[in-house]
Structure 1
Amino acid sequence: MSRHAPALLIVDMQKAMQQVAAGPRNNPLAERNIAELLHAWRGADRWVVHVRHLSRSPGSLFWPGKPGAEFQDELAPLAHEHVVDKNVPDAFTHSGLERWLRVRDIEALVIVGVSTSNSVEATARSAGNLGFHTHVVSDATFTFEKADYSGVRRTADEVHAMSLANLDGEYAQILDTRQALNLG
């Protein structure tokens, strides 16, 4: 494994995210782009980390043992790929992820997955604060529509764009799939 190449961090790509109950979303091609990046990382023998959200609420779609908590088939980890379980949005909180990366001298991350406005943003903020060279792939992440603090309903595209703006330049560099594929 190349320690100088960034690790691919795939956040919460679980079956529950494919259900209509999650709500209207953006980036309908995000899964295709994530799969393309995953294929490239595997082909180049680079580090891949899969993050799985496991809820602490028994009624949640992400409750351990429920079908929604399972990884999406086309993005499921291989036996040698690292899996991080979390029960809060930030993949670094109480998970051992930072230590796992540091032990392997991994200094850069490419973050993809869901949702841009929650787990992706929380994880990217921590990664940037911890000193990792952090990249978030705009077309390999997605989110859902949401009301803002004033009660105004925002489209998933608006929520996504704001989350990327929150991260850009301060915590992470925002790339698209083509640019991410060219990272060394």
Structure 2
Amino acid sequence: MEVKEAIMAILPELEELGEVDFEQYSPPYPNLLKAFLESGKKGLPEFERFTESTVGKDAVGRVLLSLLQYLLIRYRRFEDYSVVKPTIKVFLTLKGWLIENGLGKDWNRVLGSFIGYLVSMLPLIAEHEDKDIALAYTKLMENLTREASEKFDEDYYYELLERVNELKKKIMEKTNAQE
């Protein structure tokens, strides 16, 4: 089975995943992914229906979480920029799926565990993307980091929020200087 093809069948709207090297990815439920790929169906809602009728809906969350972890490992180990935007998009997809399925406590754990990694990606986005995209991602991270700082009243999350705001300020200053 081609893992990349299966992931792309589940999340076809995340075209950036096509640039990611999945050779080292060992997904949970490989037989499920293969069966879904062979079914010819596409999209997360279809995958959710497919898993519900086979191994259970929880498999969707496990697959999304596993994919997020893999992308983060590639980023941390290889500083692979091709995973940066897909990581953030998978993170948001996982958030939506968890909240939609009444798993807010699980979302809180995911947010608390991974927001620092996402914030660490922002300087790369600012370096590689145009100002509008960099600002959009920075504002998104600002909102997510603010959510984390409000939920987990700990210095770490306030420091992350401060880092995001500093980067946002630098991007805006750079933008104003160029205009």
Fold conserved (TM > 0.5)? Answer: no
Specify which structure has the higher proportion of strand: 1
Specify which structure has the higher proportion of helix: 2
Q: TM-score w.r.t. structure 1 length?
A: 0.34
Greater RCO (CA < 8 Å, at least 6 residues apart): 1
Q: TM-score w.r.t. structure 2 length?
A: 0.35
Which protein is bigger by CA-based radius of gyration? 2
